[in-house]
Amino acid sequence: MSFFSKIVVFYFCLLFSLSGTIKAQINLDSVNSLINQSKNDSLKAVTIKLFIDAVEDNTVWPAYNNLLIKICEKTYSSNKKLGNLLGEGYNNKGYILNYLGKTDSALIFYNKCIRIRQETKDSTGIGNVMVNIGFLNQNLGRHDSAIFYYDKGLSYYKSKKNLDGMAVIYNNKASVYQIQGRVKRKHCLFNKRNEYL
């Protein structure tokens, strides 16, 4: 990690240790200044990603996620290292669109995410987006499709021995089985989930 990157990380730790409305506005102003001062697209993208990960307010981070996607799309063909960040941006965009009830648009971004994740050979990232597509289908009442995507995500998580991801999927599948009234199957999956917690 370069010296400048370490400074950026330190700066973010300092910024997000502050709290309160006035300080939050200062944080946004500081983040914007830091992003605008950087001449390097990779550093801008990492800075934005750190900010997105630190902010939980769905009225704030989506605009920064759009900026992340814009920067990464612009430079991805010449800088494949930004693939993981671009995949994150697409996955986040799908998440917020699903949250807003725009499921068709969410699926477009989830599919873009899958394509990028496959190019970068990111099995855990593919597992994450499969969980999100499964959840989208579950919320729409498409239980068979939800199980299908949860199972696809599970295979990616198993390949990387991602126990946390496996636990999430067992929990989500159990929820589907509960909705369907398949109580024995639900209890079996809840027990399996507990093995990984």
Question: H or E stretch including 86?
Answer: helix 83-99
Q: In whole angstroms, what is the distance from residue 63 CA to residue 73 CA?
A: 15
pLDDT tens digits, 8-23: 455 455 444 444 433 4
Q: In whole angstroms, what is the distance from residue 9 CA to residue 34 CA?
A: 11
Q: Who wins on pLDDT, 36 or 139?
A: 139
Rg (Cα) of the chain, in Å, rounded? Answer: 19
pLDDT tens digits, 39-97: 889 989 998 998 898 888 899 999 999 999 999 999 998 888 899 999 999 999 999 99
pLDDT tens digits, 131-173: 999 999 999 999 999 999 999 999 999 999 999 999 899 899 9
pTM value is 0.82
- Phi/psi at 172 (nearest 5 deg)? -65, -40
Q: What is the Cβ-side half-sphere exposure of residue 105, based on CA atoms within 13 angstroms?
A: 10
